[in-house]
Structure 1
Amino acid sequence: MEPLVTYEDALVAGTIVDRPNRFVVRVRFDDEPERAFLGDPGALENILEPGAEVLCTPVDDPERATDHDAIAVRVDDTYVSVRAALANDLFEQLLVRDALPAFEGYSLVKREPQLPDHGRADFRLETPTGADVYVEVKSSTHVDDGVAKFPDRQTERGRRHLRSLAALVDDGAEAHLVFVVQRPDVEQFRPYREVDPEFAALLGRVRDAGVGVHAVTTAFEPPHYRLESADLAIELP
Structure 2
Amino acid sequence: RLAGFNQLLEVKKEITYKNSRFDLYFKGQRGEGFIEVKGVTLEEEGKAMFPDAPTERGRKHILEMIQAVEEGYQGYIFFLIQFQGAKYFTPNEKTDPEFARALRLAKEKGVKVLAYDSLVTENSISLNKEIPVIL
Q: How does the TM-score come out when normalised to structure 1?
A: 0.54
- Give matches, 1:149-168, under 5 Å: 149-168=49-68
- Paired with 1:104 and 1:224, the residues of 2 have a C-alpha distance of 21
Match of 2:5 among 85, 103, 112: 103
| 1:125 partnered with 2:26 | yes
| 1:114 partnered with 2:13 | no
Gap runs ≥5 in structure 1? 1-98
- Paired with 1:223 and 1:112, the residues of 2 have a C-alpha distance of 22
Corresponding letter in the other structure for 1:106:
L
* Aligned-pair Cα RMSD in Å: 1.6
**2:134 maps to which residue?**
235
Contact kept? 1:108, 1:123, Cα under 8 Å: no
Gap runs ≥5 in structure 2? none
- Give matches, 1:128-147, under 5 Å: 128-129=29-30, 131-147=31-47
Deviation per CA, 1:162-211: give whole Å up to 9, x if none: 01100101111111110001111212100000111111111001111000
- Paired with 1:168 and 1:114, the residues of 2 have a C-alpha distance of 11
Task: Indicate the structure with greater strand content.
Answer: 2
Contact kept? 1:140, 1:149, Cα under 8 Å: yes
Contact kept? 1:166, 1:209, Cα under 8 Å: yes
* Higher RCO structure (Cα 8 Å, ≥6 apart): 2
| 1:203 partnered with 2:103 | yes
Deviation per CA, 1:44-79: give whole Å up to 9, x if none: xxxxxxxxxxxxxxxxxxxxxxxxxxxxxxxxxxxx
- Paired with 2:37 and 2:9, the residues of 1 have a C-alpha distance of 16
For the pair shown, which has the larger CA radius of gyration, 1 or 2?
1
In 2 relative to 1, CA 109–224 (structure 1 residues): closer, same or farther, beyond 3 Å?
closer
Q: How does the TM-score come out when normalised to structure 2?
A: 0.91
In 2 relative to 1, CA 223–161 (structure 1 residues): closer, same or farther, beyond 3 Å?
closer
**2:77 maps to which residue?**
177
Deviation per CA, 1:96-138: give whole Å up to 9, x if none: xxx21243423442101121x3332111011224x22111110
